[in-house]
Structure 1
Amino acid sequence: MNIMNKLELLTQANRTLTETVTNEFAKLDLDALNYKPSAESWSILECLEHLNRYSRYYNPALAKAIAQNSNGNFLESINYSWLGKKSLDMVRPQNAKKHKTVKHMNPNNSKLGRGAIDEFLMHQEKLQQLLQNAKGTNLNKKAVPVEFFKLLKLRIGETLEFVVTHQERHIQQALRVKQQQAQQMAA
């Protein structure tokens, strides 16, 4: 797929995620936002906090990588490394297999309030800007250290796709939590 088309798809997905959080979660009360279907599952706010923890790392790492590689060396398509393909396959929303997250990224049993929503939306604005800035960047440059093992690096393009795809996965999870709560209330 052409890089400009890929960036546009990621930009649109980012907008959709922002709209979903604003429309589906922002108006809920704290009890609904903290509802957990089971002790080991995450609440809506825990899903958002998990994404916030990733954004706190990846947004600055991407900003640095994009700034250092915006030399106009623009390529027509994104090439994926083995690590990039594996990472994307793991977080795709269609992949129903559950994966354990690294301990410091697991928000289970966190005390969370509306600030988690505000922070998520702030990170989405930053990501939107990064996606725009990426248009003049060599997206095939291996320049983004993997959060849990910084010796490994992902390409800029695959990292942008990983961040958006990972967010889609957990926003869908949060929507399922909302639906489960509605079903429990109706029963």
Structure 2
Amino acid sequence: METNTFLAQLQDRVQQIKATAQAEFLSLEPAALNFKPQPNSWSILECLEHLNRYSRFYLPAFEKAIAPALASGSAQLVKYSWFGKKSLEMVNPAGAKKHKTLARMNPQNSQLTKAVLDEFLQHQDTLLHLLSKATTADLNKKTVPVEFFQLLKLRLGEALEFVVLHEQRHLQQALRVKASAGQPLSLVV
């Protein structure tokens, strides 16, 4: 896919993530945001805190990769490495397979407040800004370290898509938690 189309699609997804989080979670009381369907499952806020922990790592890494970028002369296709394809497959929201998260990224049993939701929404604004700046970067040559093992690197385009898919996956999880609590789901258009 051509770079500008790829980035525009990611921006659309992030806009949808933000709109859904605002519509579904902003009006909820703290008890609903902290409700867990099962003792071992995550609450809505734990799902969002997990994503915040990833954003605290990846957003500065994206900024660093994008900042020195010079505009490329021609439209390029976004390319994927074997590792990039596997990483995207792992976080694909359509995938049913569960994956164990690293202890430092697992917010289970944390004492969380609505500030988690506010931070999540701020991260979405930052990500949208970075996606608009990324049009000047070579998404295939710039790399971003992988959070769990920083010697491994993803191409910038792969890493951007990884974060967005990961957010979609856990937003769906948070919506399932809301539905299991008997909270009505809003229609977001």
Q: Which amino acid aligns with 2:71?
A: G
The within-5 A match list for 1:37-116 is 37-68=37-68, 70-73=69-72, 75-116=75-116
CA contact (8 A) 1:71 1:137 kept: yes
Q: Which amino acid aligns with 1:136?
A: T
Q: Which amino acid aligns with 1:127?
A: L
Using the TM superposition, give the Cα deviation of residue 142 of structure 1 relative to its aligned residue in structure 2, in angstroms: 4.3
Q: Secondary structure at the match of 2:138?
A: coil
Q: Which deviates more, 74-83 or 119-128? A: 74-83
The within-5 A match list for 1:1-187 is 1-68=1-68, 70-73=69-72, 75-182=75-182
Q: Secondary structure at the match of 2:97?
A: coil
Q: Deviations over 1:81-135 (max 9, x none)?
A: 1111111000001101000011100000010000000000110110000000000
CA contact (8 A) 2:44 2:174 kept: yes
Runs of 4+ more than 2 Å apart: none
| Separation in structure 1 between the aligned mates of residue 71 and residue 44 of structure 2, nearest angstrom | 40
Q: Which amino acid aligns with 1:98?
A: K
CA contact (8 A) 2:71 2:135 kept: no
Identity of aligned residues (%): 55
| Separation in structure 2 between the aligned mates of residue 138 and residue 102 of structure 1, nearest angstrom | 30
| Separation in structure 1 between the aligned mates of residue 148 and residue 106 of structure 2, nearest angstrom | 13
| Separation in structure 2 between the aligned mates of residue 75 and residue 92 of structure 1, nearest angstrom | 26
Q: Secondary structure at the match of 2:182?
A: helix
Using the TM superposition, give the Cα deviation of residue 174 of structure 1 relative to its aligned residue in structure 2, in angstroms: 0.2
Between Structure 1 and Structure 2, the one with more helix by share is 1
CA contact (8 A) 2:17 2:171 kept: yes
Q: Secondary structure at the match of 1:150?
A: strand
Using the TM superposition, give the Cα deviation of residue 75 of structure 1 relative to its aligned residue in structure 2, in angstroms: 4.7
Q: Secondary structure at the match of 1:182?
A: coil
Gaps of 5+ in 2: 184-189
Equivalenced residue count is 182
CA contact (8 A) 2:4 2:75 kept: no
Using the TM superposition, give the Cα deviation of residue 66 of structure 1 relative to its aligned residue in structure 2, in angstroms: 0.8
CA contact (8 A) 1:2 1:77 kept: yes
| Separation in structure 2 between the aligned mates of residue 142 and residue 100 of structure 1, nearest angstrom | 28
Superposed CA RMSD: 1.0
Using the TM superposition, give the Cα deviation of residue 67 of structure 1 relative to its aligned residue in structure 2, in angstroms: 1.1
Gaps of 5+ in 1: none
Normalising by structure 1, we get a TM-score of 0.95
Q: Secondary structure at the match of 2:129?
A: helix
